[in-house]
């Protein structure tokens, strides 16, 4: 039997990268998936791809900073599929690169609003839906949760905060049999990573990436699918005694 047969997963930031890969992974392993993102065309395309392989999926165009919209998307998920078992809170933005002394208020607030408030709103809505039957919530942070990031202080701050949020939530959610954990990836071969490299180095993006890759003991970036494997394990019954923990699939970077 597929690992997630009969389960329902709610995934934010699901229109690309790790979010899209997670939606495909869960669907292939039997879950019904509810995709949440701002980009409608991409989200609907992923739903079509899942349906083409016989999976069940829906898409809601929702900005995670809209708490009411997130609650409505969770309610729609339950209406369509009957329950909610897994939450993956992946939506995030990088924001504009700027030194702290030059960073404008709007950039700071935008990044924290999406990366931290968005995780909180989704996590809260998911937990409310799981109170009666339990479940597993996975927040996606970054290795920037453990170190500073000059020029991207808002991003690093938001990722640090996600760890504190999950560690607090695990104690509150445990009586309801809701597990909550955090995945902190290193460099991932995604559009966001390419955007970072292009913003820093322009056409010579490789000059920015090569020194970073050289610091990784395994000598390469991860694929989105490799990060999804960590998410899927935490969501599964194989991780039934794991909560309040952090997994760092980073190729050894933090070592």
> Computed from CA positions of residues 73, 95, 157, 15, in that sequence, does the dihedral angle turn out positive or negative?
positive
What six digits make up the tokens of 10?
């709610």
Kind of pairing between the strands at 56-61 and 32-37: parallel
Catalytic residue annotation:
155
What six digits make up the tokens of 43?
């989200």
> Computed from CA positions of residues 143, 145, 148, 151, in that sequence, does the dihedral angle turn out positive or negative?
positive
Give the CA radius of gyration of the chain.
18
Task: Annotate 33-97 with DSSP letters as a single string.
Answer: EEEEES-HHHHHHHHHHHHHTT-EEEEEE--TT-HHHHHHHHHHHHHHHS---EEEE--------
Those residues with Cβ within 8 angstroms of residue 203's Cβ, 6 or more apart along the chain or in another chain: none
């Amino acid at each position: 039997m597929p690992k997630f047969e009969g389960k329902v997963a709610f995934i934010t930031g699901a229109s690309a990268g790790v979010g899209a890969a997670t939606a495909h992974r869960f669907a292939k392993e039997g879950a019904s998936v509810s995709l949440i993102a701002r980009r409608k065309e991409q989200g609907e395309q992923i739903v079509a791809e899942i349906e083409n392989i016989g999976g069940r999926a829906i898409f809601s165009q929702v900005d995670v900073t809209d708490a009411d919209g997130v609650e409505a998307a969770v309610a729609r998920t339950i209406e369509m599929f009957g329950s909610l078992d897994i939450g993956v809170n992946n939506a995030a933005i990088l924001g504009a690169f700027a030194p702290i002394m030059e960073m404008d208020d709007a950039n700071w607030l935008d990044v924290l609003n999406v990366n931290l408030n968005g995780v909180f709103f989704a996590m809260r809505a998911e937990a409310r839906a799981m109170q009666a039957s339990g479940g597993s919530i996975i927040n996606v942070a970054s290795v920037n949760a453990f170190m500073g990031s000059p020029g991207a202080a808002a991003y690093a701050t938001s990722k640090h905060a996600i760890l504190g949020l999950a560690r607090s939530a695990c104690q509150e959610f445990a009586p309801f049999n809701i597990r909550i954990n955090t995945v902190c990836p290193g460099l991932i071969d995604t559009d966001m990573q390419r955007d970072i490299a292009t913003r820093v180095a322009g056409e010579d993006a490789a000059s920015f990436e090569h020194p970073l890759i050289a610091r990784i003991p395994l000598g390469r970036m991860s694929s989105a699918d490799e990060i999804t494997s960590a998410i899927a394990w935490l969501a599964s019954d194989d991780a039934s005694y794991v909560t309040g923990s952090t997994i760092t699939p980073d190729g050894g970077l933090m070592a």
